[in-house]
Structure 1
Amino acid sequence: MTTTRNNRPDPHGGPTGRVAPIDDAEPPAGSAAAVAEAGGAGPLPAEAGQVSEKEARQVAEAARETAWDRPSFGKELFLGRFRLDLINPWPRSDPADVARAGEFLGALGAYLDAEVDGAAIERDAHIPDEVFHGLARLGAFGMKIDRRYGGLGLSNLHYCRALMLAGSANPAISALLSAHQSIGVPQPLKMFGTPEQKQRFLPRLAAGEVSAFLLTEPDVGSDPARLATTAEPTADGTGYRLNGVKLWATNGTVATLLVVMARVPAGEGRRGGITAFVVEGDSEGITVERRNAFVGLRGLENSLTRFHDVIVPKENVIGGEGKGLKIALTTLNTGRLSLPAMCVGAGKWSLNVAREWAADRVQWGRPVGEHEAVAKKLAFIAATTYGMESMLDLCCLLADDDRNDIRIEAALVKLYASEMAWKIADELIQIRGGRGYETADSLAARGERPAAVEQLLRDLRINRIFEGSTEIMHLLIAREAVDAHLSVAGDIIDPDAGLGRKARAGARAGVFYARWLPTLAVGRGQAPRAYAEFGPLAAHLRHVERTSRKLARATFYAMSRWQGKMERKQAFLGRVVDIGAELFAMSAVCVRATAERAEHPENVELADLFCRQARLRVDELFTALWSNTDSVDVAAAKRILAGRYAALEGGVAAPPAELPWVAGWQPGPSTAEDVRRRIPPLG
Structure 2
Amino acid sequence: MRAADKDEKRSLEVAEASRETEWQQPSFVKEMFMGRLQTDLIFPFPEQDPADKSVGDDILAQVRDYLEKNLDADRIDRTCNIPKPVIAGLAKLGLFGIKIPKEYGGLGLSQINYNRIIHLVASHCASTAVLLSAHQSIGVPQPLKMFGTPEQKQKYLPRLAAGAVSAFALTEPEVGSDPSRMSAQAVQSEDGQSWIINGEKLWTSNGPIAELLVIMVRTNDPGSEKPEITAFIVEGDSPGLETVHRCDFMGLKGLRNGLLRFRDVRVPAENILGGRGEGLRLALQTLNVGRLTLPAASAATMKQALAIAVDFGKSRRQWGAPIGHHEAVAAKIARMSADLFAVDSLTWLTSAMGDAATQDIRLEAAMAKLFCTEAMWRSVDDAVQVRGGRGYETADSLRGRGEAAVPTERLLRDARINLIIEGTSEIMHLFIAREALDAHLKVAGMSATSTRMDVKNAARFYAKWYPLLWLPRPAVFKSVDLPWSLKRHLWFVERATRRLARDLFHRMMLHRQGLQKKQMLLARLVDAGAELFAMTAVIARAGSPEAPPGADKLADLFCHQARRRLSRLHREVYFNDDRRAYRRAREVLDGHYPWLEDNILSTWKGTEPPT
TM-score range with shorter-chain normalisation?
over 0.9
Is 1:77 the counterpart of 2:26? The answer is no
Supply the AA of the counterpart residue of 2:62.
A
How far apart are 1:356 and its partner, in Å? 1.4
Is 1:117 the counterpart of 2:72? The answer is yes
Query: Any idea what SS the aligned residue of 1:246 has?
Result: strand
1:227-251: CA deviation from partner (whole Å, max 9, x where unpaired): 0000111100011110000000000
Match of 1:228 in 2: 183
- Distance change >3 Å, CA 112–CA 273, structure 1 → 2: same
Q: Percent identity?
A: 48
Match of 2:468 in 1: 519
- State the Cα RMSD in Å: 2.1
- Distance change >3 Å, CA 491–CA 452, structure 1 → 2: same
The equivalent position to 2:351 in structure 1, one of 389, 396, 399, is 396
Match of 1:434 in 2: 389
Query: Any idea what SS the aligned residue of 1:222 has?
Result: coil
CA distance in 2, matches of 1:241, 1:147: 34
Asked if 2 retains the 8 angstrom alpha-carbon contact of 1:251 and 1:302, the reply is yes
Asked if 2 retains the 8 angstrom alpha-carbon contact of 1:218 and 1:247, the reply is yes
The equivalent position to 2:292 in structure 1, one of 337, 349, 352, is 337
1:536-578: CA deviation from partner (whole Å, max 9, x where unpaired): 2001100000000001000000000000111111000000000
Match of 1:377 in 2: 332
| Superposition map of 1:186-201 within 5 A | 186-201=141-156
Structure 1: segments with no counterpart, 5+ residues? 1-46, 666-683
Supply the AA of the counterpart residue of 2:179.
P
CA distance in 2, matches of 1:604, 1:372: 22
Match of 1:462 in 2: 417
Asked if 1 retains the 8 angstrom alpha-carbon contact of 2:486 and 2:556, the reply is yes
Supply the AA of the counterpart residue of 2:433.
A
Is 1:53 the counterpart of 2:8? The answer is yes
Match of 2:229 in 1: 274
- Distance change >3 Å, CA 664–CA 420, structure 1 → 2: farther
How far apart are 1:93 and its partner, in Å? 3.0
CA distance in 2, matches of 1:197, 1:426: 45
Query: Any idea what SS the aligned residue of 2:446 has?
Result: helix
Query: Any idea what SS the aligned residue of 1:237 has?
Result: coil
Supply the AA of the counterpart residue of 1:403.
T
Is 1:640 the counterpart of 2:595? The answer is no
- Distance change >3 Å, CA 446–CA 280, structure 1 → 2: same
Match of 2:489 in 1: 540
| Superposition map of 1:489-568 within 5 A | 489-491=444-446, 497=452, 502=453, 505-524=454-473, 533-568=482-517
How far apart are 1:50 and its partner, in Å? 12
Asked if 1 retains the 8 angstrom alpha-carbon contact of 2:127 and 2:253, the reply is yes
The equivalent position to 2:578 in structure 1, one of 630, 636, 649, is 630
CA distance in 2, matches of 1:656, 1:536: 56
CA distance in 2, matches of 1:489, 1:529: 33
How far apart are 1:511 and its partner, in Å? 2.5
Asked if 2 retains the 8 angstrom alpha-carbon contact of 1:531 and 1:541, the reply is no
How far apart are 1:332 and its partner, in Å? 1.1
CA distance in 1, matches of 2:570, 2:83: 49
CA distance in 1, matches of 2:369, 2:412: 17
Match of 2:209 in 1: 254
How far apart are 1:493 and its partner, in Å? 8.8
TM-score w.r.t. length of structure 1: 0.86
Match of 2:550 in 1: 602
CA distance in 2, matches of 1:527, 1:395: 21
Query: Any idea what SS the aligned residue of 1:201 has?
Result: helix
Asked if 2 retains the 8 angstrom alpha-carbon contact of 1:189 and 1:318, the reply is yes
Is 1:406 the counterpart of 2:361? The answer is yes
Asked if 2 retains the 8 angstrom alpha-carbon contact of 1:336 and 1:467, the reply is yes
| Superposition map of 1:196-207 within 5 A | 196-207=151-162
1:39-67: CA deviation from partner (whole Å, max 9, x where unpaired): xxxxxxxx9x9971110111111111111
CA distance in 1, matches of 2:350, 2:575: 33
CA distance in 2, matches of 1:254, 1:182: 17
CA distance in 2, matches of 1:243, 1:184: 20
CA distance in 1, matches of 2:189, 2:6: 26
CA distance in 1, matches of 2:429, 2:451: 26
Match of 1:21 in 2: none
- Bigger drift between 640-649 and 550-559 goes to 640-649
Supply the AA of the counterpart residue of 2:103.
R
Query: Any idea what SS the aligned residue of 1:358 has?
Result: helix
Match of 1:617 in 2: 565
Match of 1:583 in 2: 532
Match of 2:115 in 1: 160
Asked if 2 retains the 8 angstrom alpha-carbon contact of 1:429 and 1:453, the reply is yes
CA distance in 2, matches of 1:583, 1:109: 35
Query: Any idea what SS the aligned residue of 2:255 has?
Result: coil
How far apart are 1:533 and its partner, in Å? 2.8
- Bigger drift between 203-212 and 335-344 goes to 335-344
Match of 1:304 in 2: 259
How far apart are 1:652 and its partner, in Å? 0.7
| Superposition map of 1:658-677 within 5 A | 658-660=606-608
CA distance in 2, matches of 1:396, 1:212: 23
CA distance in 1, matches of 2:560, 2:409: 29
Supply the AA of the counterpart residue of 2:589.
L
- Distance change >3 Å, CA 495–CA 317, structure 1 → 2: closer
- Distance change >3 Å, CA 422–CA 290, structure 1 → 2: same
CA distance in 1, matches of 2:477, 2:147: 49
Query: Any idea what SS the aligned residue of 1:240 has?
Result: strand
- Distance change >3 Å, CA 199–CA 569, structure 1 → 2: same
How far apart are 1:529 and its partner, in Å? 9.9
Supply the AA of the counterpart residue of 1:316.
N
CA distance in 2, matches of 1:214, 1:129: 23
Is 1:355 the counterpart of 2:303? The answer is no
CA distance in 1, matches of 2:278, 2:449: 26
Supply the AA of the counterpart residue of 1:657.
K
Match of 1:185 in 2: 140
- Distance change >3 Å, CA 325–CA 493, structure 1 → 2: closer
CA distance in 2, matches of 1:328, 1:304: 19
Asked if 1 retains the 8 angstrom alpha-carbon contact of 2:312 and 2:387, the reply is yes
Match of 1:29 in 2: none
- Distance change >3 Å, CA 484–CA 357, structure 1 → 2: same
CA distance in 1, matches of 2:112, 2:607: 46
- Distance change >3 Å, CA 345–CA 664, structure 1 → 2: farther
Match of 1:174 in 2: 129
How far apart are 1:494 and its partner, in Å? 6.2
Asked if 2 retains the 8 angstrom alpha-carbon contact of 1:354 and 1:431, the reply is yes
Asked if 1 retains the 8 angstrom alpha-carbon contact of 2:182 and 2:227, the reply is no
Asked if 1 retains the 8 angstrom alpha-carbon contact of 2:218 and 2:228, the reply is yes
Aligned residues: 606
